[in-house]
Structure formats: structure tokens, C-alpha cells
Amino acid sequence: MDFVTGLPLTLRGHDAFITFTCKLSKQVHIVPLNFGGSSSEVVARLYFDFVWRYHGAPLKIVSDRDPRFLHSFWQGLQKLMGVKVATTTPYNPRSDGQAEHTNRVVEDMLRAFVGDHPEDWDLWCTNVEFAINDS
């Protein structure tokens, strides 16, 4: 899982998205969010609502040491779910290269969809997710 931040603020208050990429199947889930309001509890809930309901709990989560993933609540949730946490350094292609590749593909596709209306990028996340997972 990884964040892409610094995007134009949408009418729905989103300025970032988080990608969840399965290293085995390469399936991707894209969730728009307000980065400033994305506490560990919010991110855990997004994971639960957008990934866990389809795939269940993973045996391992790879993260780039973002404070949201090191927060005690998130660690507690992972412990309760029996999930191991593997932290990496940011932008480390040997460990989180798949997440970085996913983010580049999602950003390129969103640019193609939004064109001259960047304030609507969050409306296209479902289309982009479907296109990636269908390819």
C-alpha cells in the first residue's frame, strides 16, 4: 500500500489516493482520500472496507514506514488480524517497486481521463481500477 499526495483538491474534498496492490495477483484497489485527515484509524477502515471485504487479511503488508502504518492503533489492528508488517525505506524498488509502478500507472491513467478538469480526478478512480485489473 502506498499514498499519492499533492493532487488537486476535488469537490468531494479529496487531495490524495492510496493504492493497495497485491504482489501475487497484481490486482489494484484505488481509494481517494483527504490526506490531512487520514489518521491510522481512517486508513485501517479504508483497507477494511475496500480490500479486506474482497480478499480477507493478508499474511504480510509492505509499507514504507509512513507514520500511519507505525501508529499503535494500526499495529494493534494488524496484531489482532495476525498480519506481519514489513517496513521499507520510501521509494525502494527492491521492496515496494510494485506499489511505485502501480502509482505511476494510476497517475498516468487519471491524467488521461481528467484532461482539463483535474478537480474531478477522484470520480475516475473506479474506471482506472477496473481497467488495470481487467488488463
**Mean pLDDT, each 10-residue run in order, the chain (135 residues):** 92 94 89 89 85 81 66 67 70 66 93 90 95 92
34 burial level (CB within 10 Å; 0-12, 13-18, 19+): middle
How much is the pLDDT for 1?
83
How much is the pLDDT for 89?
64
How much is the pLDDT for 54?
86
8-state DSSP, 108 = H
3-state secondary structure 5-17: CCCCCCCCCCCEE
CA distance 47 to 19: 10
